[in-house]
Chain A
Amino acid sequence: MKANIKKGKITIAIAIGIACFALVFVMLMQFKIVNQTDITAIENMRETELRTELANWKAKYEETELKYEEIREKIDEYKETKQSNEETEKLVDDELEQVNMTLGKTYVEGEGIEVTLRDTENEEISKISSSDLLVIVNALKLAGAEAISINEERIVNMSDIVTINDTFIKVNGQRILAPYIIKAIGNQTYLESALLGNGGYVDELKKIGHDVSIVKINKVKINQYNDEIKIKYME
């Protein structure tokens, strides 16, 4: 009986000892885990929570990237439009420049001729009149002149060349004095042949006795039209 009780006691002791062993073993494992893992905000979350969080961030990231891609495409589009706009702008600019040049609003230079007319001192011969200048300008226009000026007064489409009181000549409303220098830009040969040769007006003037000379210049410089071009009645 006594041995039985002792045996029972030993079994109990062993059982509880094994239980304690297992308990302490697992406890130390747990201590190690808790010690070695950083205790931060993340620690307090469960893995599933972290996973959902991660998934959320991933989704957000993807969304943002999609947006970024969209915006980039838009920017590309804008860039293209801008480029085409720039092309149009350049075209318009070129056109504007050309129009200004033909209108006489800008200073121009190019190959052409210079005609110098001087009055003779002989009193019998009439002075050079505005009609003479008009004829010459017309002839130059016919020969394809791109720009013409008389004594630095640019001839534009509404330019006037008039004689006032048979005493002085006005071009663009400005009085000009002899010698009259007519500059023209265009094909030199055409311009010259329009004035010289058979029926050329310069030849006729020379016959009368005027002192007229024609010089070919590679760089004729013609100033811009000085007045404003006013548009009041045109619509």
Chain B
Amino acid sequence: MIAIAILIGCVLGAILGMNTPMISYTYSSYLAIAIIAALDSVFGGITSVIKKNFDLKIFITGFFGNAILSILLTILGEKLNVDIYLAAIVVFVGRMFTNLAIIRRYYVDKWSNQLKEKNEKKD
């Protein structure tokens, strides 16, 4: 069910994204950091679904809050002449890897359990 939702969302987003007008290169760095933040949020959401502690409010606030906060931090970093966006990327990507690991473990466990059950049935 969730996989179908992700697929539909991705396809719709791709179709609409193809036809959007160009945005100035100036804002591309902000957009990039927002994308990383959103990606992190999506993976976090999937992880929480697997862990069965998904909270819609936390997911939505995290999705938009992280993106906006990371953009603001990038702007601040530019004003201070410090590459704060690097820190944001490190945090987001690190979390993304942990979330991905959790998802991977879950499915590997599920798969091995199924295999075990099959073997037990055969015996």
Residues of A in contact with B (beta carbons under 8 Å apart):
9-30, 32-34, 36-37, 43, 46-48
| B14: contacting residue among A15, A24, A34, CB under 8 A | A24
Q: How distant is the Cα of A23 from the Cα of B46 in the complex, in angstroms?
A: 14
Q: Which of B1-24 contact A (CB under 8 A)?
A: 1-2, 4-6, 8-10, 12-14, 16-18, 20, 22-23
Q: Is the CB of A16 within 8 A of B26?
A: no
Q: Across the two chains, which residue of chain A brings its CB closest to B64? A: A22
The secondary-structure label for the interface of chain B is: helix
Q: Is the CB of B35 within 8 A of A23?
A: yes
Q: How distant is the Cα of A48 from the Cα of B20 in the complex, in angstroms?
A: 26
B39 contact set on A, CB distance < 8 A: 23
B32 contact set on A, CB distance < 8 A: 30
> How many of chain B's residues have a CB under 8 angstroms from any CB in A?
38
Q: Is B54 an interface residue (CB 8 A)?
A: yes
Q: Is the CB of A13 within 8 A of B1?
A: yes
| B17: contacting residue among A14, A28, A43, A46, CB under 8 A | A28
Question: Smallest CB–CB gap between A134 and chain B, Å?
Answer: 103
Q: How distant is the Cα of A43 from the Cα of B115 in the complex, in angstroms?
A: 52
Q: Is the CB of B14 within 8 A of A47?
A: no
Q: Is the CB of A21 within 8 A of B1?
A: no
Give 7 A-B pairs besides A19-B9, A23-B9, A46-B78 with Cβ atoms closer than 8 angstroms. A12-B49, A15-B56, A16-B9, A25-B20, A27-B35, A28-B17, A37-B28
Q: How distant is the Cα of A24 from the Cα of B78 in the complex, in angstroms?
A: 26
Q: Is B60 an interface residue (CB 8 A)?
A: yes
Q: Is the CB of B5 within 8 A of A24?
A: no
Q: Is the CB of B42 within 8 A of A12?
A: no
Q: Is the CB of B20 within 8 A of A12?
A: no
Q: How distant is the Cα of A43 from the Cα of B29 in the complex, in angstroms?
A: 11
Q: Is the CB of A30 within 8 A of B45?
A: no
A-B complex: 8 closest residue pairs judged by Cβ atoms: A28-B17, A24-B13, A20-B9, A17-B5, A13-B5, A17-B9, A21-B9, A25-B13
Q: How distant is the Cα of A208 from the Cα of B26 in the complex, in angstroms?
A: 119
A14 contact set on B, CB distance < 8 A: 5
Q: How distant is the Cα of A33 from the Cα of B25 in the complex, in angstroms?
A: 7
Q: Which of A10, A32, A46 has the most CB of B within 10 A?
A: A32
